Structure 1
Amino acid sequence: MERNLSLAQSATTDAPIVLDSLRAFAQSSSAFLGLSDDNRYFTTPRVPGLVIYRPFGKRYWVQFTGPCAAAGRQAELEQQFAAAAHRAHRRVIAVQLPRTDAERVAETGWVVNQFGCSYSIDLSDFTLRGQKFVKTRNMITRSRREGTTVSEADADRLRDPEFSGQLDAIDAEWLRDKGRHVKEMRFLIGQRGGPMQQHRRLFVAEQDGRVVAYVSYSPVFGAQPGWLYDLTRRRPDAPPGVIEHIFAEAAERLRGDGAAWMHLGLTPFVGLEPRHAIEGAHSRMLGRTAELIRDRGAALYPATRQLAFKQKWRPHLETPEYIAFPNRIRLRDIWCLARITNAL
């Protein structure tokens, strides 16, 4: 008998089940982001593991990353999830699929396109020395010169209402500063707070006793374990270089604690190259649309700016990620994705 586990509805009982499955089976560096309040988790006693998804409207289940199951059993779990969706009269769309999962669903007739690329840093080889990092070092130096200090918020501080209020205020100012028409991205990013906060790490920059920026990191399991650079927020009047300052000090701290990798996460619509396409499954129309958003859609999604920030750290690994649709793409599918991510 299949179960739909909801972290929001039963955090104390379901959260350990979900987290244990991610620790055992997750390969995507973004998998932990699936532990958001509005997501659901499909399991079946037939296959250990789970599928993360989010219902949308009356017609869709939007799957997040590939199925988390033991090697060789992902397809079986995927089939059980598809059968459950069919019984519920739901159409499944999958986002942020790794290459292996994308190739597997392509073999069953799904339309599969590259969605973007994620970037990762091997912390054993991370350094800010050398000519290529001069500008980055200068920005960090400027932040320090203006009296900014960086520290990790411990559990006691995270429970402090005054501290939480400062973080909430930064969130509000950050979004307001983006412009009246800009909405905060959903589904493809993590969250701050909630029952999973104890598993994340939060670094803050402070100036004159006031928090001016923060960065949240989520754990990464699988073949390249470490941390995912997730939420980034700053006040409009924060010193230049403050995010670079947090990034550099957090990387050193996480490496010192034994982390092997720093993952920078997915940037949609970038790194779109023919060598990443899955032969026979690619939609030219969708590919062209993604390129147009990358080149001309900064108001919709700042892909170029995000990519520039990530590339300044000279990442060691570039990983394509995919989006998949059963049989063919429908206009309503695109509408669903735009709504569930809050792009529209």
Structure 2
Amino acid sequence: MSDTLLHAIKNWTEAENPSAFLAMNDDKEVFTLPGTEGVVLYRRAGGYLVQFGGPFAPEDSYGALVAAFRAHARDQGLRVVGVQLQAYDAERYVRHGFTVNQIGASWAVGLPEFNLRGTRFMQLRNKISRALRNGLKVEEVAAEGRHDAIERIDRAWLKSKGENVRPLEFLVGRIGGPAQQHRRLFLGTIDEEPVAYISYSPVYGSRSGWMHDLSRRLPDGSPGLMEAVNAAAIEIFRGEGAEWLHFGFTPFTGLSPDAELPGHSPAFSWLMQFLWAEGAALYPAQTQLAYKEKWGPELLIPEYVAFEGQASLPSFAHIFRACNSF
């Protein structure tokens, strides 16, 4: 199945989803329709099948997969809610009777002309310089043999987030597994001790490049660790001719009335705006966006949630349940 998924990610409509490589994670189930090309990725949470993106399918199979997946859920007495749909998915799901709202956005930097010169990047340069002065060294490494170092950083990072915080799944990347050969891992060390890492996933389609995916740091480490690791990776990606560095999906950010589609729920739009302003306990959207904005992203990609029937809080809550956030 991994070869089938990789083919879908590279060649079909969902290739335009910068987070498409998350389909390769083993935290998702795969729905197929016999005699039809394409797959739907999902995870069950309570009475819902939480779908990741739209169908990974050629255009002539897309509608059939949507209908078949809804029937699959209905046969089990379940409902469908989809998250991280792209604009082309959103338009199709409206036609299939879903209520579709913007839920956030993903962000990207064009690499060919990127540099850190100028006053807008002065604070970012200072943070990077501070980390390097404190002895940080960054190198690209193979994930194999680094399990203990990664695990130590992960444990410390997670502990710093609070007593009952659990690692997110489903809409975030991972390290390891059969798909690791396609990812890239950059590790920061000080005095040969691992202190931070960033894992990058490939992005295909018309905005191909890499996605700044899973990232962790020691909470008591030097300021500027993540910035310095990412800056080092950018230089390598630029040297290889990569076009884009994507920063992935952040809920509640980049919200715009102009991005909403006919039939959207005004109440849900209000909720997204409220969670942007007051929802840090649910998800630290403002902190996440502040990091991304340091790099001067020039591309904002709206992302959507699709509710079978009317938008509802239970459907929305089960997205977070599927992500292991509670």
> How many percent identity over aligned positions?
43
Aligned residue type for 1:215 = I
How much does 1:118 deviate? 0.4
CA distance in 1, matches of 2:250, 2:21: 17
Aligned residue type for 1:69 = A
- In the comparison of the two structures, how many residue pairs are matched? 324
CA distance in 2, matches of 1:72, 1:129: 47
How much does 1:45 deviate? 4.2
**Counterpart of 2:163?**
180
Aligned residue type for 2:266 = R
CA distance in 2, matches of 1:331, 1:116: 16
Contact 2:44–2:322 (Cα < 8 Å) also in 1: no
**Counterpart of 2:2?**
15
How much does 1:89 deviate? 3.3
CA distance in 2, matches of 1:131, 1:328: 47
CA distance in 1, matches of 2:104, 2:167: 19
Which stretch shows the higher mean deviation, 142-151 or 85-94? 85-94
Contact 1:173–1:235 (Cα < 8 Å) also in 2: yes
What does the per-residue CA deviation read over 1:82-102, in whole Å, with 9 as the maximum and x for residues that have no partner? Answer: 233333433111000001111
CA distance in 2, matches of 1:77, 1:334: 22
How much does 1:125 deviate? 1.9
Contact 2:27–2:169 (Cα < 8 Å) also in 1: no
* 2:16 match: secondary structure: coil
Contact 1:214–1:233 (Cα < 8 Å) also in 2: yes
CA distance in 2, matches of 1:238, 1:318: 31
Q: 1:91 aligns with which of 79, 96, 102?
A: 79
Which stretch shows the higher mean deviation, 235-244 or 183-192? 183-192
How much does 1:52 deviate? 1.2
CA distance in 1, matches of 2:137, 2:282: 33
Provide the aligned C-alpha RMSD in A: 1.5
Contact 2:100–2:264 (Cα < 8 Å) also in 1: yes
What does the per-residue CA deviation read over 1:277-299, in whole Å, with 9 as the maximum and x for residues that have no partner? Answer: 112x2112212222221111212
Equivalence map 1:192-271=2 (5 Å) = 192-271=175-254
Q: 2:48 aligns with which of 60, 82, 95?
A: 60
How much does 1:334 deviate? 2.9
**Counterpart of 1:282?**
264
* Length-normalised TM-score, structure 1: 0.90
* Length-normalised TM-score, structure 2: 0.95
* 1:315 match: secondary structure: coil
CA distance in 2, matches of 1:48, 1:86: 22
What does the per-residue CA deviation read over 1:230-261, in whole Å, with 9 as the maximum and x for residues that have no partner? Answer: 01100022211111101111011112223211
Whether 1:135 aligns to 2:123 is yes
Whether 1:38 aligns to 2:27 is yes
**Counterpart of 1:24?**
11
Whether 1:76 aligns to 2:59 is no
How much does 1:333 deviate? 1.5
Whether 1:272 aligns to 2:261 is no
How much does 1:72 deviate? 4.9
